[in-house]
Structure 1
Amino acid sequence: MENRKKVAFYTLGCKLNFSETSTIARNFNDEGFDRVDFEDVADIYVINTCSVTDNADKQFKQVVKKAMKLNDKAFVAAVGCYAQLKPEELAAVDGVDLVLGATEKFKITDYIHDLSKNDMGEVHSCEISEADFYVGSYSIGDRTRAFLKVQDGCDYKCTYCTIPLARGISRSDALENVLKNAKEISAQNIREIVLTGVNIGDYGKGEFGNKKHEHTFLDLVQALDKVEGIERLRISSIEPNLLKNETIEFVSKSRTFVPHFHIPLQSGSNDILKLMKRRYLREVYTDRVNKIREVMPHACIGVDVIVGFPGETDEHFLETYHFLNEMDISYLHVFTYSERDNTEAADMAGVVPANVRAKRSKMLRGLSVKKRRAFYESQLGTNRTVLFESENKEGYIHGFTENYVKVKTPWNPELINTLHEINLTKIDEDGSVRMEFLNKLAEA
């Protein structure tokens, strides 16, 4: 058994990438490899790449360098979005032996019978139109939550985005397969499942880009809500035009779905939304937030926003700032616009200088801190349920309530991966919330 090869993984980017890395890792396991941490010496290092930000290239080179430092004879493979978009570029990075595009990444174990180093990375990529089949995935990283992939690809044509070029057309997992994966996850004593995909509200399109929706996103959440053994389900990120009232109402009464929504806005200016070719205007966004607040006043609402998009004047930016400031939301994920090759926006006029982009980004990050604090303050004195995580951070254990308030209590390993009724008492200096147990058992 000593000669079993060791494989390590590094994931850049989103929850969807994490779910796919886990699936690829299980394939290696089935082929007789042992998985080790990326910080350990391995025979193979697999890097799952991301294309969303402009430092993806830089990050990738750093990760390869790290792998080569650990074992300069190791075989290094790159998969994922950046590997699909710029395969030759990645193959030319010193130390890289294999680059696999979108259709090949799940077949990686077919390519690694010979682990000798290559002078130049070998590329197996495809035309993205060939990525028309679906591979289900889920991740089991830490012991408390899993990311379950339900959908892949995107049919939207947002002018700043490379994801359709990297992942292909929108396609979904069969409902029975999602339910099978959810049952497998719950059988492993994992308390929370986060639904993930590229455009999960578009769930239901068939495997070969069949435009007819066999099931809807609402069908999906209703079916998952009935799976035994799952304590919590969380919707990761959903487009405002695809988040329907029926779904919001169902979540508000659901057994397992938690009151937490993450809804990309990207801009609070209708002029900029049109330039981005988003499929809604800000009025739709306001409607979604108002609907959630009406049926779940305590819900957490997160927002994605892009600053510095071509053509964004000071007036447009202030429109976004005031729109978000006045809205009852809980936190922001702020992205500074970066030009991506082969996108419409890369050729648009009205380029915003880098220093202006940075300043706007800083302003919105400040607003996010303020919003999160106000949301946490609104929750003080309320009773919630917390799921504790597994890390000991400076003598404390942290966890999240169903509505995504981060709480802390003195470290106790017995609390890991357990759910407790608590009362939120005060906000700590580090921004997390102190709590008291409502069930005396937990204090014993």
Structure 2
Amino acid sequence: MKKKVAFYTLGCKLNFSETSTIARSLVKEGFDRVGFDEMADMYVINTCSVTENADKKFKTIVKQAQKSNPQAFIAAIGCYAQLKPEELIAVDGVDLVLGATEKFNIADYVNDLSKNDMGEVHSCEIQEADFYVGSYAIGDRTRAFLKVQDGCDYKCTYCTIPLARGISRSDSLENVLKNAKEIAAQDIKEIVLTGVNIGDYGKGEFGNKKHEHTFLDLVKALDTVDGIHRLRISSIEPNLLKNETIDFVAQSDRFVPHFHIPLQSGSDALLKLMKRRYLTNLYIDRVQKIKEIIPNCCIGVDVIVGFPGETDEHFLETYHFLNELDISYLHVFTYSERDNTEAANMDGVVPKKVRNKRSKMLRALSVKKRRAFYESQLGAELEVLFEGENKEGYIHGFTENYVKVKTPWNPNLVNTLHKIKLKEIAEDGLVTMEFVNSPVIA
């Protein structure tokens, strides 16, 4: 009988792409992959350490696995596994913890899957995470996350990612294109480029610090791969998003008009405390440049509330800055202290209640911004890619500029692209639509 393995992924798109690659490697070793809610011989949890909640959630997921099979072998991998392996191995039921470099060779560590009285930790010093493992995830049939870069050389004072993932390094252009072609061959219509700091692409190729290629080289090369209908840039630092890249996306048939650009704070004083590599004037410049040449572009923003030293005045500065900016939605993160970061020792700690109140205010602003963006697109003719789930009698999809639409469920629409016209915003906040041409559906 083949052994069964199940995976649970916490955190970012990058984690999802790595889980997929690790899963494929175990299938090659003779495992059968099953769902996490099914009976399995081994459960692998890919962890995240960006927020406190991700840490807490780990224990809940271990219990979930034990409920399905109390005798199952449980392995933890990922960022939290690299940062705090001793904490994870101490959780009842965990047999194996693998760090940043070891996770890709999980088959070498699992042996006969027998439970141990003492769990094992295999975790390198993070300085040893200096080689690159390419990966991609196919979460559903419509889109894939393609990893192009890993690690980060930035020293943001709130962030543990460099400690968990090591130095900035990239996949070779040749390998990225090979992976993109493999994805295209599986009839997947959209690729989302992912990494820790993808604008830094090219650094550390073949283990050196010289940029063999730039992010613009990568974008131009991917634009030529046959069989990919859409390419989406997941998240790129404002200081690394160059005019040439924006200009190229504007004229590309494949790269979609959607940028996600982390801001973190609308206060220059806080950006300096965070050791970000830009100030608000550069951010304004990037947004204006995009909107000038791609007026229907969707722009998403990451922002942190409750950073040490954030006074009411600083917060309102951020709120007004975002309110006045021509952006489309926010990802709001409530600051949480992380060990071994500079910010954890800073003065001016913001009470949790205040952090949560500020977070609510920005989430409400995000709803307002998204609605205003959707309203600006009503009447437009766009192309939608339909997803695979029946949600209360509707099928959902995203336009190229990330407007979420719905139409009555039809299984033949799954993973198909159609020219549509946006009609109105429904009560649930999604946009209703009509087909521009009656779709020919088999």
With the shorter chain as reference, the TM-score category is over 0.9
Alignment-derived partner of residue 198 in structure 2: 200
Aligned mate of 2:153, from 128, 152, 155: 155
Aligned mate of 1:377, from 375, 378, 400: 375
Alignment-derived partner of residue 424 in structure 1: 422
Contact 1:92-1:120 within 8 A present in 2 as well: no
Mapping 1:35-434, distance limit 5 Å: 35-207=33-205, 209-434=207-432
Contact 1:298-1:403 within 8 A present in 2 as well: yes
Deviation of the 1:58 alpha carbon: 1.2
| Counterparts of 1:130 and 1:171, CA distance in 2 | 12
Q: 1:266 to 1:209 in 2, by over 3 A?
A: farther
Deviation of the 1:271 alpha carbon: 0.1
Give CA deviations for 1:376-415 in whole Å, capped at 9, x if unaligned. Answer: 0000000000000000000000000000000000000000
Deviation of the 1:255 alpha carbon: 1.9
Question: TM-score normalized by structure 1?
Answer: 0.99
Contact 1:437-1:443 within 8 A present in 2 as well: no
Deviation of the 1:443 alpha carbon: 7.4
Give the letter aligned to residue 176 of structure 2.
V
Give CA deviations for 1:397-441 in whole Å, capped at 9, x if unaligned. Answer: 000000000000000000000000000000000000000001213
| Counterparts of 2:250 and 2:126, CA distance in 1 | 39
Give CA deviations for 1:85-114 in whole Å, capped at 9, x if unaligned. Answer: 000100010000000000100000111122
| Counterparts of 2:380 and 2:69, CA distance in 1 | 52
| Counterparts of 2:136 and 2:89, CA distance in 1 | 28
| Counterparts of 1:111 and 1:83, CA distance in 2 | 15
Give the letter aligned to residue 321 of structure 2.
F
Give the letter aligned to residue 29 of structure 1.
V
| Counterparts of 2:30 and 2:151, CA distance in 1 | 31
200-209 or 274-283, which deviates more: 200-209
Contact 1:170-1:209 within 8 A present in 2 as well: no
Give CA deviations for 1:109-163 in whole Å, capped at 9, x if unaligned. Answer: 1111221111232000010000000000000111000000000000000000000
52-61 or 174-183, which deviates more: 52-61
Contact 1:169-1:209 within 8 A present in 2 as well: no
**SS of equivalent residue, structure 1 residue 390:** strand
Contact 2:150-2:197 within 8 A present in 1 as well: yes
Give the letter aligned to residue 87 of structure 2.
E
| Counterparts of 2:347 and 2:140, CA distance in 1 | 45
| Counterparts of 1:233 and 1:423, CA distance in 2 | 22
| Counterparts of 2:276 and 2:438, CA distance in 1 | 50
Percent identical residues: 82
Structure 1: 5+ residue stretches without partners: none
Question: TM-score normalized by structure 2?
Answer: 0.99
Contact 1:16-1:149 within 8 A present in 2 as well: yes
Structure 2: 5+ residue stretches without partners: none
Runs of 4+ with deviation above 6 angstroms: none
Contact 1:132-1:208 within 8 A present in 2 as well: no
**SS of equivalent residue, structure 2 residue 375:** helix
| Counterparts of 1:134 and 1:357, CA distance in 2 | 37
Give CA deviations for 1:5-64 in whole Å, capped at 9, x if unaligned. Answer: 000000000000000000000001100100000010000000000000012221000000
Contact 1:44-1:74 within 8 A present in 2 as well: yes
Give the letter aligned to residue 11 of structure 2.
G
| Counterparts of 2:329 and 2:253, CA distance in 1 | 25
Deviation of the 1:206 alpha carbon: 2.1
Contact 2:205-2:212 within 8 A present in 1 as well: no
Give the count of matched residue pairs: 442
RMSD: 0.8
| Counterparts of 2:21 and 2:441, CA distance in 1 | 38
